[in-house]
Structure 1
Amino acid sequence: MTVYRFLLSGKWVGAFALCVAFSILCLFLANWQMERKEEVDYRNQLIADNFNASPVNLSEHEGAFDTFDEQLKWQPITLRGEYVSDEQVLARNRPYHGVNGFEVLVPFVTVQGEAVLISRGWVPAGFGDALAPEQEVDAPPAGEVTIVARYHNSEMDTGRGAPEGQIASIYLPDLAKMTGVPVGEAAYGLLVSEDPAVPSTPIVKEAPEQDTGPNLSYSMQWYAFAILIYVVYAWSARQKVRNDELDAQLAAELEKYYGQFYDEEGNYVGEEDEDIIIRKMQMVDDMPSHLKSIMRPAPARSKKRRTDEDEEDAYLDSLGI
């Protein structure tokens, strides 16, 4: 193993340190992707468990719209009360099945006195005027209503403006100020059904797609890179040993070749001009490394079965052709 002593040199120790740093970075990125995958899996599991679950009563989860409960996301909740239809707001730039549109938002006050924002569904934007719905949105049912709505968290504030009566983000604190109704600021409801129903209602969106995403494959790639960097390091070290062996073999062959021009006492005995021989030796010494590599002896090739072409060439050689 003395041929690998060069691994203790500063250059190779530094290269190994870089490999370690690179592998640690790869492991960090792989774990980050795995965390992203776990988040997606958790989201998909919530959709699978809650989206089509039986509705629960709001009384079982008092204050849920003031403090968001992650475990309840997508869970249908039954509420009884009245819409504040005069405070209807449209959330703009809401694409659905490739069509831009709006979500219709209306405050709802339950019989318990709790105010909740309800998204009654989606309506497409006008063909000639994307700033307004395609047609006028019908008012929600008047009087006391029993509704079922899926529990959903508030969106982030984008800071973007919107025309009057519209909002860029379902950021509940802003909606509470805009409507003057103190709706819960942590969560709102996505309408499933109303009783009594009205003839025309916005479109209730389907369940979100449960896409697993590419995070698992990305994570596996980063884990592979963390290992491959050491494979590359080991291969580079093996190549250096191999090249050193070939260089030593080349040096021995050159020494043998040029040694024939001198006797044991160092006197020149060749027939060619000694200056030419000396210049040839100097040329080898002065060669850059990439040219010296060309002079390295070719590695021994493993024997293989002779092909038909080899047999034909051998036959022609035997005939002197």
Structure 2
Amino acid sequence: MTGKWIGAFLLCVLFSLLCVYLAGWQMDRKEAMDYTNSRIAENYEAAPETFAEAGGNFERMDPDLQWQPVEMTGSYHPEDEALVRNRPHNGQVGFEVLVPFTTEEGQTVILDRGWMPTGDNNTAPAQEVPAPPEGTVTVTARLHAPEDSTGRQSPDGQLPSIDLTDYAQRLDYPVQQGAYGIMASEDPSPAQTPQALAAPEQDAGPNLSYSLQWYAFAVLIYVAYGWCARQKVRNDRLDAQLAAELEEYYGAFYDEQGRYIGEDDEAVVRRRMEMIDDMPRHMKAIVRPKPARKRRGVTDEEAEDADLDALAEAEAPRRSR
């Protein structure tokens, strides 16, 4: 085995290791998505917990309680309402409405009351945002982790993302920044509310198939290497056969002392020999001997023709008599 083939094999090893790594990475993503789906399935329609039981998650979010409903009683701060820009909903872009809510326990959390479509200029909602209920309200909201800062600026009263740290800096009182609540219900229920946000999708995604594909590539690279090596051995054998045949053919033009004894012009013969020697490797396949094909079985047509020939040969002597 030459250094070229050893190097090619080492490249195959490196490629297969990379494929195995990428397959594992895709499998990790699948497991993360499975975990998210399990949290949705277990928590989204779960019975609401009280603020005393789960309210601490608004300060420090437990990932296992994502989408868990929490029931709390308190009052809104409508004067500090904020609109989150560029929020998709049912194929449209609009705003999500955030309002601070102070519970009876004295802690202020941020609630997402729903979605509003944009107007013609995309800088404000298409209609006036419905006000939250006044006075004491009992709400049920689902826990959700905050978003990261986008680093973008936004007009007064608007936010580029649900970054609770950014929102808290715009308020004159402290708010919990570990999580916010997505509105599920309000009591008393107002006559008009923003559109409720859709339930999260449980999508398995293509990560499992991608992982299996990478594992397949890790195996197929060795299959390809083996096929190329087999072709190299076969071609070398045929090249040796070609060289022997050419040597035998052109050897007939010279005697043992090297004198030309052919009938054609020697210059023409030498040129033919040089053409074979100078021929690129990929062109030598044209003159390379073809492997003998295995004879296929006799077809019905061939058997019938053989029977007719035998019958004709048997009748020929009779006709000659």
TM-score (normalizing by structure 2): 0.89
Q: Secondary structure at the match of 2:57?
A: coil
Name 1:117's counterpart in structure 2. Answer: 110
Partner Cα separation in structure 1 for residue 201 and residue 54 of structure 2: 27
Does the 8 Å CA contact 1:65/1:188 hold for their aligned counterparts?
A: yes
The aligned residue for residue 278 of structure 1 is 270
Q: Which of 54, 61, 67 is equivalent to 1:68?
A: 61
Q: Which residue of 114, 119, 123 corresponds with 1:131?
A: 123
Residue aligned with 1:11, SS? helix
Give the AA of the match of 2:176.
Answer: G
Give ranges in structure 2 of 5+ residues lacking alignment. 307-321
Q: For each residue in 1:108-163, what CA deviation from the matched residue of structure 2 results, as whole angstroms up to 9, or x when unmatched?
A: 1111111110001111112x232111211222111221110000000110011112
Aligned to 2:44: 51
Distance 1:273 1:130, change over 3 A: closer
C-alpha deviation, 1:265, in angstroms:
4.8
Tell me which amino acid in the other structure corresponds to 1:37: K
Is residue 66–residue 144 contact of structure 2 (8 Å, CA) maintained in 1? yes
Q: Which runs of 5+ in 1 are unaligned?
A: 1-5, 315-321
1:309 Cα deviation from its structure 2 partner: 9.6
Q: Which residue of 2 aligns with 1:317?
A: none
Alignment partner of 1:80 is 2:76: no
Q: Counterparts of 1:232-271 in structure 2 under 5 Å?
A: 232-271=224-263
Letter in 2 for 1:178: R
Q: How many residues align?
A: 309
Matched, 1:187 2:211: no
Q: Is the 8 A contact 2:54 2:70 kept in 1?
A: no
Distance (whole Å) between structure 2 residues aligned to residue 181 and residue 69 of structure 1: 24
For residue 190 of structure 1, report the CA deviation from its aligned partner. Answer: 0.3
Counterpart selection for 2:5 from 3, 9, 12: 12
The Cα shift of 1:311 comes to 9.6
Letter in 2 for 1:25: L
Spell out the pairing of 1:172-321 with structure 2 (5 A cutoff): 172-305=164-297
What percent of counterpart residues are identical?
57
Is contact 2:74-2:136 (8 Å) kept?
Answer: yes
Q: Which moved more, 1:80-89 or 1:69-78?
A: 80-89
- Contact map agreement 1:83 1:106 (CA 8 A) in 2: yes
The structure 2 residue matched to 1:42, chosen from 6, 31, 35, is 35
Match of 1:108 among 95, 101, 105: 101
Q: Over residues 214-251 of structure 1, what are the superposed CA-to-partner deviations in whole Å (9 max), with x where a residue is unaligned?
A: 21222121111111111111111111000001001111
Q: What SS does the corresponding residue of 1:94 show, helix, strand or coil?
A: strand
- Paired with 2:106 and 2:302, the residues of 1 have a C-alpha distance of 96
Say which is worse superposed, 305-314 or 39-48, in terms of deviation: 305-314
More displaced 10-residue stretch of structure 1: 278-287 or 305-314 = 305-314
Structure 2 counterpart of 1:114, one-letter code: Q
Determine if contact 1:107/1:181 at 8 Å carries over to the other structure. no
From the superposition, tell whether residues 30 and 161 of structure 1 become closer, same or farther in structure 2 (CA, over 3 Å): same
1:92 is paired with a residue whose SS is: strand
Does the residue aligned with 1:63 lie in a helix, a strand or coil?
Answer: helix
How far the C-alpha of 1:313 sits from its partner, in A, is 12
> In 2, are the aligned partners of 1:151 and 1:189 still within 8 Å (CA)?
yes
Distance 1:22-1:248 versus aligned 2 partners, 3 A rule: same
Residues in 2 aligned to 1:172 and 1:119: alpha-carbon distance in whole angstroms: 12
Contact 1:47 1:207 in 2 (8 A): no
Letter in 1 for 2:283: L
Work out the CA distance in 1 between the residues paired with 2:225 and 2:94: 56
Closer/same/farther in 2, CA of residues 267 and 138 from structure 1, 3 Å limit: closer
The question of whether the paired residues in 2 share the 8 Å contact of 1:81 and 1:111 is answered with yes
Per the normalisation by structure 1, the TM-score is 0.89
1:151 and 2:158 matched:
no
For 1:318, the equivalent position in structure 2 comes to none
